[in-house]
């Protein structure tokens, strides 16, 4: 280390003032020579507070001003609880389906070569780039009773659009890239040699998958799952066109917020928003815990 | 396990993945263009040059033209302070910057209604001074800035952290000023990451629906962005026009994906973070 080599011999009997000056010199040498810390940090904190933190705090301050019983009545009314059940249930189901097919897609993209692979790879990000309202009306058109897909289910008595199934289908569309892009880099880092070694030692392909591949990618798969789930719980644009929006049946929590705002029920909207914010912060915490766990596991 | 069955399993997996992609991604995209052109090119064009549609296109471009540059400046400033310096609480700050991604778009709209709406914190004061934010363009811009807040910053923070500060320190020790160092050393180093972040930020800014829907008030020709115009037309059962405007947004998405892929292949730019 430079600093250790350059350290002058200790001068125990030196007067106090020069020693302090010397210390200051050393501190300054250790500090970054790059300018602009105060300016950029100040701007960052100011802009972050103005756009994100202060506006978000309004929800909690309003809720706190409500009083506990009023908050419970508004945030956990039977209609609100039914909406949470629809939102969380469909988001979970969609994240689960994406966990399977997103992993499959990531695996195929990382391990195999096939014509059109680059196009497929680019297409995976379509849900990030396509406006949600566009996705919403397109999905509603496809899965309606007379749509390209819906017409095959209609004769069987299965209605896809305007039911929780339709909501789940929309959330599968929205959530796919989260899983693929979370798992992909981990699969890229895993060499195929480990699997080949396991296979040549007589392991069945299914054993290789459950004992070798799955444990290695589990943290990234869980992270992707949590990201897709969190996005699905809050999703609005792609869902409302296909949801049917029947209270207690196919009404999602974000839609209930909008409905209550339109009826000038600010307390109701704020209480539901508070419940949803707490839920998404819990998921955020969970993602951080998963990543800390995975880092710890890698070091072990 | 013989070679033949391994090959067969491989083909089966590829076929399953492609079928899933075709069903869930390609089909909706195709449906947009098919429905838009259902009544012919003339009806398609008529839906796009109609005055309310043109007003919506103009407003969408205006909102993106304000919110994207704001996010570029903030993204660079935040990434500079986080990546080039060490300080306690860094990871907490990064978590806060990412926060808008975990907030439902509807809640993103609601918070500005609670701030600036008629019953909000600043509502009475704004009414007194005859300033309208909610149900007007400033509210739409604010909500858009909120939902696109992390895009540029989260692209640049890992990139600039990885590049370290050696290049900048060398330039500074050779006598370059801080600004020169940024423009001639840092900016060229981060240009592809910046472009990547701007592409995604712009796509979201032009396509945002939930947050903007809460603060817009849906005044036709005045506060309707393109996604809101799509909703109104769709709810009026004017499907051809709804899908025609939607097809413009779908084209924007496709252009975004193509440019993004070019940045990835041609310039070997790899993302370091997954998901939004």
CATH number at residue B230: 1.10.3720.10
| Distance (Å, whole) CA A196 – CA A111 | 13
Please answer yes or no on whether A280 and B168 come within 8 Å at the CB atom.
no
Taking an 8 Å cut-off on Cβ atoms, the answer to whether A58 and B115 are in contact is yes
Q: Residues B46, B51, B57, B58: is their CA dihedral positive or negative?
A: positive
Say if residue B249 is in the same domain as residue B225. yes
pLDDT band of residue A212 (cuts 50, 70, 90) is confident
pLDDT confidence of A196, banded at 50, 70, 90?
Answer: confident
Residues B185 and B62 in one domain: yes
Residue B268's pLDDT band (cuts 50, 70, 90): low
What is the rounded (10 degree) CA torsion for B104, B109, B112, B114?
Answer: -80
What residues have CB less than 8 Å from B118, skipping those under 6 apart? B127, B134
pLDDT at residue A208 above 70? yes
Phi/psi for A295 (5° steps) reads -65, -45
Residue of B nearest to A37 (CA): B81
Looking at the predicted structure, is the pLDDT value of residue B18 above 80?
A: yes
Same domain as B28, residue B148: no
Which DSSP string do the residues of chain A spell out, in sequence order? -HHHHHPPPP-TTS-HHHHHHHHHHHHHHHS-----HHHHHHHHHHHHIIIIIHHHHHHHHHHHTT-HHHHHHHHT-HHHHHHHHHHHHHHHHHHHHHHHHHHHHHHHHHH---TTHHHHHHHTTHHHHS-HHHHHHHHHHHHSTTSTTHHHHGGGT---TTSHHHHHHHHHHHHHHHHHHHHHHHHHHS-HHHHHHHHHTT--HHHIIIIIIHHHHHHHHHHHHHHHHHHHHH--HHHHHHH---TTTT--HHHHHHHHHHTT-HHHHHHHHHHHHHHHHHHHHHHHHHHHHHHHHHH-
Do B1 and B95 share a domain, yes or no?
no
pLDDT band of residue A290 (cuts 50, 70, 90) is confident
CA dist A56 → A21, B71, B252 (Å): 46, 18, 30
Is A235's Cβ below 8 Å from some Cβ in B? Answer: yes
Using the predicted structure, report yes or no on whether residue A17 has a pLDDT greater than 60: no
pLDDT for B13 equals 93
For residue B238, give the 3-state DSSP assignment: coil
Q: Give the tens place of pLDDT for each residue, A68-110.
A: 999 999 999 999 999 999 999 999 999 999 999 999 999 999 9
Task: State the Rg of chain A over Cα.
Answer: 27
Instruction: Quote the DSSP letter at residue B25.
Output: I
In this predicted model, what pLDDT tens digit does every residue of A155-182 receive, in sequence order? 998 899 899 999 999 999 999 999 999 9
pTM: 0.89
Kindly report the average pLDDT of chain A as a whole number: 87
Chain A residue numbers touching B93 (CB-CB < 8 A): 44, 48
Task: Choose among A51, A234, A266: nearest Cβ to B105.
Answer: A234
Contact between B205 and B67 under an 8 Å Cβ cutoff? The reply is: yes
Q: What is the pLDDT of residues B72-120, one digit of tens each?
A: 999 999 999 999 999 999 989 998 999 999 899 999 999 999 999 988 8
Its domain, for residue B243, covers: 40-274
Confidence at residue B136, expressed as pLDDT on a 0 to 100 scale: 92
Q: Are residues B22 and B58 in the same domain?
A: no
- Please check whether residue B221 is in contact with residue B55, taking contact to mean a CB–CB distance below 8 angstroms: yes
The mean of the pLDDT values for chain B is: 91
Q: Is the pLDDT of residue A15 over 50?
A: no
What DSSP character marks residue B102?
G
Number of domains in chain B: 2
Instruction: Find the closest chain B residue to A225 by CA distance.
Output: B275
pLDDT top residue among B113 and A295:
B113
Q: From 3.40.140.10, 3.40.50.150, 1.10.3720.10, 1.10.645.10, which CATH number describes the A58-299 domain?
A: 1.10.3720.10
A231-278 confidence digits (pLDDT tens): 999 999 999 999 988 899 999 999 999 999 999 999 999 999 999 999
Q: What percent of chain A stands above pLDDT 90?
A: 64
Name the minimum distance, in Å, from the CA of A159 to any CA of chain B: 18
Query: B31–A181: do the CB atoms touch at under 8 Å?
Result: no
Query: What is the structure's pLDDT at A2?
Result: 41
Across the interface, whether the CB atoms of B107 and A254 are under 8 A apart is answered: yes
Per-domain boundaries in chain A: 58-299
Q: Are B51 and B157 contained in the same domain?
A: yes
Residues B113 and B6 in one domain: no
Complex ipTM value:
0.92
> Do B27 and B47 lie in a common domain?
no
Residues B162 and B193 in one domain: yes
The string of pLDDT tens digits covering residues B126-160 is: 989 999 999 999 999 999 999 999 999 999 999 99
């Amino acid at each position: 280390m430079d600093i250790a080599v350059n350290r002058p011999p200790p001068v125990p009997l030196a007067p106090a003032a020069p020693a302090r000056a010397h210390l200051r010199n050393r501190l300054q040498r250790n500090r970054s020579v790059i300018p602009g810390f105060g300016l950029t940090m100040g701007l960052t904190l100011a802009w972050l507070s103005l756009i994100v933190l202060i506006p978000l705090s309004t929800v909690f301050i309003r809720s706190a001003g409500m009083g506990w019983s009023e908050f419970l009545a508004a945030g956990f009314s039977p209609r609100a609880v039914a909406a949470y059940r629809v939102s969380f249930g469909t988001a979970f189901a969609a994240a689960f389906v994406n966990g399977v097919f997103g992993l499959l897609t990531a695996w195929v993209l990382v391990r195999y070569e096939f014509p059109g692979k680059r196009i497929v790879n680019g297409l995976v990000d379509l849900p990030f780039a396509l406006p949600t309202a566009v996705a919403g009306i397109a999905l509603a058109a496809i899965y309606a009773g007379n749509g390209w897909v819906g017409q095959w289910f209609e004769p069987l008595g299965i209605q896809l659009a305007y039911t929780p199934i339709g909501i789940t289908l929309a959330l599968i569309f929205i959530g796919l890239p989260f899983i693929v892009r979370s798992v992909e880099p981990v699969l890229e880092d895993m060499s195929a040699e480990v699997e080949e070694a396991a296979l040549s030692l007589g392991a069945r392909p299914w054993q290789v998958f459950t004992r070798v591949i799955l444990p290695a990618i589990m943290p990234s798969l869980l992270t992707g799952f949590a990201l897709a789930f969190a996005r699905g719980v809050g999703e609005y644009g792609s869902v409302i066109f296909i949801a049917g929006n029947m209270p207690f049946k196919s009404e999602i929590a974000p839609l209930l917020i909008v409905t209550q705002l339109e009826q000038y029920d600010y307390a109701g909207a704020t209480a539901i928003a508070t419940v949803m914010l707490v839920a998404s912060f819990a998921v955020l915490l969970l993602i951080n815990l998963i990543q800390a766990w995975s880092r710890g596991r890698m070091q072990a | 396990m013989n070679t033949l069955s391994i090959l067969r399993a491989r083909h089966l997996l590829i076929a399953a993945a492609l079928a899933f992609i075709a069903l869930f991604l390609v089909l909706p995209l195709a449906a947009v263009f098919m429905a838009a052109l259902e009544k012919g090119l003339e009806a398609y064009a008529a839906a796009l040059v109609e005055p309310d549609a043109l007003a919506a296109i103009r407003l969408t471009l205006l909102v993106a033209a304000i919110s994207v540059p704001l996010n570029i400046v903030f993204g660079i400033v935040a990434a500079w302070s986080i990546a080039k310096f060490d300080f306690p609480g860094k990871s907490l700050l990064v978590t806060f910057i990412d926060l808008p991604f975990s907030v439902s778009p509807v809640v993103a709209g609601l918070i500005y209604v609670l701030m600036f709406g008629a019953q909000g914190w600043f509502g009475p004061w704004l009414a007194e001074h005859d300033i309208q934010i909610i149900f007007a363009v400033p509210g739409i811009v604010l909500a858009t800035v909120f939902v696109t807040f992390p895009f540029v910053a989260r692209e640049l923070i890992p990139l600039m952290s990885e590049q370290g500060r050696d290049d900048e320190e060398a330039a500074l020790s050779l006598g370059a000023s801080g600004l020169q160092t940024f423009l001639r050393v840092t900016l060229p180093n981060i240009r592809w990451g910046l472009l990547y972040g701007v592409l995604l930020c712009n796509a979201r800014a032009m396509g945002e629906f939930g947050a903007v829907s809460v603060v817009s008030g849906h005044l036709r020709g005045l506060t309707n962005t393109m996604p809101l115009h799509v909703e109104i037309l769709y709810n009026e059962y004017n499907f051809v026009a709804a899908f025609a405007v939607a097809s413009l947004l779908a084209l924007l998405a496709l252009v975004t994906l193509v440019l993004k892929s070019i940045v990835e292949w041609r310039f070997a730019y790899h993302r370091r973070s997954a998901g939004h």
